[in-house]
Amino acid sequence: MDKIVVEHLNLRYSDGTESLRDLNLVIPANAITALMGPAGGGKSTFLRALNRLNDLADVVAQSGRVLIDGKDILEPEMDVIALRRKVGMVFSRPLPLPLTIYQNVSYGLEVAGERNREVLDKAVKLALDQAELWDEVHDRLSDPAEALSGGQKQRLCLARALALKPEVILLDEPTSALDPVATAKIESSLSELKKNYTIVIAPHNTQQTARVADWVAFFLQGEMIEFGPSKDIFTRPKDKRTEEYILGRYG
């Protein structure tokens, strides 16, 4: 099923950078789609277009359509708050809010108006379970989140996004600050989560792309050069630039 359909998406920042140029792409549901490419290619910009986080940046021109479940989310009358609950995001810095472990996960639900203790407790447990963190923190939920290790913090950030029961999860280099063990845990959660979610990730290197991706989009300087099943991209890329990137000829 096609969860996200991007049509002729263009985006320019106030400094004149054409960060996305005529982007066309279909992101399937219940799969991991990886955005691959060198730094500055527009991967983060694209991810932040999907939950309208770019609204905060100084974007001067944006055109095209981004349809999620058939609805154009770039329309000005779009309910951005509702969109962001439906499209969760994990950033590259594992930065929990300055709250307790429990509050970090319940925060999104509480500001959404959920007051029922039982509902919150259940949602927090479920989200921590999904992020494979419950076993490590269940006996210290009221400790400050600051006390967790880097890998645990990042899984907490995943849990706080999951608590809102999103349909799409965006991850922008979620493991760039983590060691290999912590990275492996995040990757294993993702392959479990993809059964029920649409996952779009900008992995932090090509190896990770190869490990987790079902679909790969190759981004180069604001353009999407190639899109296809992971296996095809890595074994027989159609574009020479994709091949060169995979072989490690770009940074």
Partner 1 sequence: MPEIFERRSRESHGEWVITRLIQTAGYSSIFFVLMILYFLLANGLPVMKDVSLSNLFSTVWYPIEEYYGILPLILGSLVVTLGAALIGVPLGILTAVYISEIAPQWVKEALKPLIEILAGIPSVVLGFLGAIVLSPFLRESLNLPTGLTALTGSILLGAIAIPTIVSISEDALNTVPRAYREAALALGTTRWQTIWGVTVPAARSGILMAIMLGIGRSIGETMTVMMVTGNAPVMPDSLGALFAPIRTMTATIASEMGEVSGGSPHYHVLFFIGIVLFLITLGVNVMASRIAFRQRKRSERVLS
Ligand X SMILES: Nc1ncnc2c1ncn2[C@@H]1O[C@H](COP(=O)(O)OP(=O)(O)O)[C@@H](O)[C@H]1O
The residue ranges that bind partner 1 (CB under 8 A) are 51, 53, 56, 81-82, 84-85, 88-89, 91, 93, 95, 97-98, 107-108, 111-112, 146, 157, 160-161, 164
Q: Which is nearer to partner 1, 57 or 61 (CB)?
A: 57
Side chain identity at 152, as an amino acid letter? Q
Instruction: Tell the burial category of 207 from Cβ atoms under 10 Å away from its Cβ (0-12, 13-18, 19+).
Output: exposed
Q: Which is nearer to partner 1, 54 or 206 (CB)?
A: 54
With tokens 């989140």, the residue in question is: 145
Neighbours of 55 (CB within 10 A): 11
Which listed option, Mg ion, ligand X, partner 1, none, makes contact with residue 53 (CB within 5 to 8 Å by class)? partner 1
Q: State the minimum distance, in angstroms, from the CB of residue 11 to partner 1.
A: 17
Q: Is 51 in the site for ligand X (CB under 6 A)?
A: no
Residues 110 and 128: their CA atoms lie apart, in Å, by: 16
Site stretch for ligand X (CB under 6 A), options 33-41, 108-116, 193-201, 205-213? 33-41
Q: Is 77 helix (H, G, I), strand (E, B) or coil?
A: coil
Which listed option, ligand X, partner 1, Mg ion, none, makes contact with residue 85 (CB within 5 to 8 Å by class)? partner 1
Helix axes 101-111, 150-162, angle to 10 degrees: 20
Q: State the minimum distance, in angstroms, from the CB of residue 199 to Mg ion.
A: 17
Q: Is 250 in the site for ligand X (CB under 6 A)?
A: no
Q: Is 20 helix (H, G, I), strand (E, B) or coil?
A: strand
Q: Is 44 in the site for Mg ion (CB under 5 A)?
A: yes
Distances (CA, A) of 84 to 4, 163, 185, 204: 14, 12, 25, 23
Q: Which is nearer to ligand X, 42 or 203 (CB)?
A: 42
H/E stretch holding 101: helix 101-111
> Looking at 45, 183, 230, 242, which residue binds ligand X (CB under 6 A)?
45
- Which residues of this chain interact with ligand X, rule CB under 6 A? 13, 15, 17, 19, 39-45, 57-58, 219
